[in-house]
Each structure stands twice: as C-alpha cells, then as structure tokens.
Amino acid sequence: MTSLFFLVFLFSSLLTRNVDADPNYIDALSKSLLFFQGQRSGPLPTDQKISWRGNSGVNDGSLANVDLTGGYYTEGDNVKHNFPMAFTTTMLSWSTLEYGGQMGPELQNARVSIRWATDYLLKCATKTQGQLYVGVGDLSANHPCWERPEDMDTPRTVYSVSASNPGSDVAAETAAALAAASMVFREVDPQYSTSLLATSKIVMEFAMQHQGSHSDAPPPRFRTFYYSYSVYKDELMWGAAWLLKATDDLNYKNFIESLGGGEQTDIFNWNNKYSGAYVLLSQRALVNNDSNFEQYKQEAESFICKILPNTPSSSTSYTSGGLMYNYKLPDSNLQHVTAITFLLTTYANYMKATQHRFYCGNSDVIVPDVLIKVSKQQVDYILGENPAKMSYMVGYGPSFPMRIHHRGSSIPSQAHPNCTEGNQFLYTPNPNPNILTGAIVGGPDEKDEYLDKRDDYIHSEPATYINAPFVGTLAYFASGGSA
C-alpha cells in the first residue's frame, strides 16, 4: 500500500514538478481579478465570491448629502482615495483594451472590476455641479484604527475639489479612467460608454481650466498619502492622451504640446505617469504610422533604455534574484514592477505590429523579445521563481504571504473589535483568518527576503494599483505570449 502510494506520488511529481515549467498564468490572471472583490466598498451583490466581506460604507457621501457608495478601498485600510483608485481604473481598462481578447472567460470579470470603480467615479463627478468628489473617509481618524470596513466607526468625511479649490492631478486621472473605460464598454454597453466619455470630457476640461494640486488646497483638504506633491503636469498629459485616444480630437494633442514636454523618468506609478503617456502616445507612431507622434516614441524608448539592464543609460537596479528594485521609492516595490512590466509588454506588442526595433545608445539592437524577456522574468519572480521560493500573490502557489497588512483579511469575520481592540489582530503572529485571494503585496526587500510580518506595511500591504497593471501582463502570458 505504502509503496503504491509512493509510486503514484513519484509519478505525479515527475509530471508536475518540471523546474522549467512556466507558472500557471491563467490561474494567476483569474486570482488577480478576484482580488478586486475583496476591496469593494458599498453594498455587495449576491454573486460576491470573496464571502468573508460584507456591506460597508453604505452611507458614504451622506455627510455631504450625496450618494458616494461603492468604489474600492485602495489598500489595507478603509479610506477611498480617488487619486490612486482612478489610476487603478485606468490601468485595469488599459489592460483590458490591450489584452481583453486574450482573457477568455476572465474578460467579463475584468469588465465587472472596472465598472465597480467607474460607477463610483461617475457619481463623484456628477452628483454636484462644479464639484468633483475625491475621497471618503478621514485618514487621520481611520488609519490608526484596526477595524474591518464592515465595522468602521470613524468619520466618513467627504472631500472635493472645485474651481476655487482645484485638483488637476486627481481630476485629470479621473478623466483618464473614465475615457479609458469608455472604450472598454464601447461595444458591450454603448449607452454606458457614452456617459463615461461625456463625463470624462467635462472632468478633463475642469482639470485644464483650473490648474492646481489638491494637496495644495486649503483645509479641509484630503489628508492622504496619495497626493501628487504639487506636480500635476504628468496627469494633464496622461488624461489628455487618454481623451485623444477615446475621441481622436486633435485639440487634446495640441493641449499636450502646450504643456511643453514631459520629464525623462525611469518610473511609472500612481504618482508619475509620464512614461505611461509616452507609451500610449507612441502607439500612434508605431501601430498607426503617424509621424506626428514620433517624439513620444523617442521618449518611450528613452524610458525603456533606463529600465532594461545592461544598456548605456540603464538606471534600474535589480536584486541578485533578478527583481527590479526601486531604492529611491522602496515602499511597495512591486507596484513599480507590475506597472513597468505592463509598459514593457505593451510597447513590445506595438513594436511587433510594425517590426520596429531600436537601439539604446551603442547597445545591441533592441527587438520586442528583449522587452518581453525582462517582463516575463519579473512576472515569474512574483509568481514564485525567486530565491525565497514563494509567490507574492496571496492564494497562488504552495507558498504565499500569510500575514498581509489588511484589516479585513486579518480580523476574523465574527469578531467586531473597536478601534483599539483591533490591534490584537494587527500584532498577532498567527496567519490571517481570511484569505484575500489574488492580492499582490509590496514584496521582498532588496535582499530578496520576505519576513511576512503584518505590521511591516512596506512589504506586506496589498494595493489595487499593484494588481491592476498585472492583469494585462498576465493575460498576455496566459494566452501563450512568450519571448
């Protein structure tokens, strides 16, 4: 009996434990989208699959006499930060526009995840004339409390921007999200798509006409980690680039040119979108062969040359295990990795459309597969091919983070601790009782090590903007995309 079991075990091990085998990208894609259900705010639908979550924030907006229910909690706390939420939505939409055809049955889940955000963003943009709501939940009161969203009892303060209190950063990102989503729904729900695009135009007009950063506004401004440090030109370029794509209205191109050029950067995240705008605009140069967009192709390639290892202008660090590592902004390092690999993969696909290739100074020729190879290596690292031999996506693979910095995941659903009582669940060494399937955490440190400690939010906290770009890249590899 024992030996028979052993033989069966050995045989199945031989079949499945092929060290060169790719990760299961289809499983990872499915989980990366399921994660968004765990971040939902508002009344939940009957087909909610992450069943340890319940209704929450059901009176959001009531302090301003408007309905602002819905949307997503950005990370492990219970505040709705529209700035990163809109970026999340833009990246989910871009993922779906580029790779929706390769998502199979997950395409519908991708649309649902986008719509959960855009239903909320539409409310934020249309409920009160002349105002854009930009967040719900008092950060300084909410953040110290370790409470589930279902039990939270701190003020659900409502924040907004307006002509006298501008916020071009959050407004242009909101416009980008609505414009990108309008293309996702163009065929499947034309009426919804039209409403998204019409609202996007109005919000973008507001961002362009009343320039300023919402972090510079007088109190009661939205006190949040997510503000754009008084810099919003990148969001203006990004928002206009998305509207140009959605409308083909060349006034948006003129506006982008009036901004007088962007910055050369080696990052792409919720706060810095120049490189994303360059790649998006370069699609016209490469795929549509429109020479008026040549300069953005140059900018995109200059960005990529900073990312790739071993080019003369490379400015990106890699750990000894092979992970891109941002020493300047090490908080949630994987946010940079998922966002940048999306740009690499997508630019490679634009290059393939016209068999384009380029050089980084005196480098070897850069063909699309050079980009895809780096992208695949990063994706595979996140899914378990790394020195710690663990996946950084919760619920994926045999070993994954068990103590993520996330209130809902770490507090048992039957417990209802108040603000301070919740700390026992923050500091316990026990694994989280609720599995937030699909959540990608901040990731390992610069030594490829991961301590799996709940209070180490820099490494153990998930966020919607880490997952969103990963959805597209996973769809590419899940459908057999390879280097």
Ligand X SMILES: *[C@@H]1O[C@H](CO)[C@@H](O)[C@H](O)[C@H]1NC(C)=O
**What value does the CA radius of gyration of the chain take, rounded to a whole number of Å?**
22
Establish whether 452 is a catalytic residue: yes
Amino acid at position 85, single letter: M
**By CB under 6 A, residue 140 contacts ligand X:** no
Neighbours of 143 (CB within 10 A): 17
Q: Least distance (Å) from ligand X to the CB of residue 422?
A: 9
Number of helices and strands (H, E) in the chain? 17, 5
Contact set for ligand X, span 91-130 (CB under 6 A): none
Establish whether 106 is a catalytic residue: no
Q: Least distance (Å) from ligand X to the CB of residue 137?
A: 17
**By CB under 6 A, residue 424 contacts ligand X:** no
The answer for residues whose C-beta is within 8 angstroms of residue 83's C-beta and 6 or more apart is 134, 135, 169, 170, 173, 214, 224, 226, 227, 228, 270
Q: Least distance (Å) from ligand X to the CB of residue 291?
A: 5
CB under 6 A: which stretch of 295-303, 329-337, 417-425, 467-475 binds ligand X?
A: 417-425
**By CB under 6 A, residue 288 contacts ligand X:** no
Paired with 260 in beta bridges are: none
Among 251, 289, 292, 430, which residue interacts with ligand X (rule: CB under 6 A)?
289
Establish whether 405 is a catalytic residue: yes
CB under 6 A: which stretch of 67-75, 306-314, 414-422, 443-451 binds ligand X?
A: 414-422
Distance CA 384, CA 380 (A): 6
Q: Which of 77, 150, 235, 452 is catalytic?
A: 452
Please say which residue, 298 or 317, places its beta carbon nearer to ligand X: 298
> Residues touching ligand X: how many (CB under 6 A)?
6
Q: Least distance (Å) from ligand X to the CB of residue 421?
A: 5
Q: Least distance (Å) from ligand X to the CB of residue 378?
A: 31
Q: Answer for the pair 204, 243: CB distance below 8 angstroms, yes or no.
A: yes
Please say which residue, 152 or 343, places its beta carbon nearer to ligand X: 152
Please say which residue, 421 or 446, places its beta carbon nearer to ligand X: 421
Q: Which of 336, 405, 406, 459 is catalytic?
A: 405
Please say which residue, 258 or 428, places its beta carbon nearer to ligand X: 428
Phi, psi for 56 (deg, rounded to 5): -155, 160
Distance CA 393, CA 383 (A): 7
Do strands 131-136 and 80-81 pair parallel, antiparallel, or not at all (unpaired)? antiparallel
Q: Which DSSP symbol is given to 101? A: G
Please say which residue, 111 or 297, places its beta carbon nearer to ligand X: 297
Q: Least distance (Å) from ligand X to the CB of residue 102?
A: 24
**By CB under 6 A, residue 419 contacts ligand X:** yes
Please say which residue, 108 or 292, places its beta carbon nearer to ligand X: 292
3-state SS class at 421: coil
Distance CA 50, CA 44 (A): 10
Among 194, 251, 288, 291, which residue interacts with ligand X (rule: CB under 6 A)?
291
Quick one: tokens of 87?
């970026």
**By CB under 6 A, residue 418 contacts ligand X:** yes
- Say which residue the tokens 């699609």 belong to: 283
x-marked contacts with ligand X along 193-212 as a string, rule CB under 6 A: --------------------
Q: Least distance (Å) from ligand X to the CB of residue 357?
A: 14
The answer for residues whose C-beta is within 8 angstroms of residue 82's C-beta and 6 or more apart is 71, 121, 124, 133, 134, 135, 170, 174
Return the exposure string of 170-193: e unless at least 16 CB atoms fall within 10 Å of the residue's CB, then b.
Answer: bbbbbbbbbbbbbbbbbeeeeebb
Please say which residue, 164 or 291, places its beta carbon nearer to ligand X: 291
Amino acid at position 278, single letter: Y
Q: Least distance (Å) from ligand X to the CB of residue 202?
A: 35
x-marked contacts with ligand X along 212-251 as a string, rule CB under 6 A: ----------------------------------------
- Say which residue the tokens 């242009």 belong to: 172
The answer for residues whose C-beta is within 8 angstroms of residue 426's C-beta and 6 or more apart is 146, 410, 454, 455
Cis peptide before 220 (omega within 30 of 0): yes
Among 119, 421, 445, 446, which residue interacts with ligand X (rule: CB under 6 A)?
421
Return the exposure string of 299-325: e unless at least 16 CB atoms fall within 10 Å of the residue's CB, then b.
Answer: bbbbbbbbbbeebebbebeebebbbbb
Which amino acids are annotated catalytic?
A: 405, 452, 461
Which parts of this chain interact with ligand X (CB under 6 A)? Answer: 289, 291, 418-421
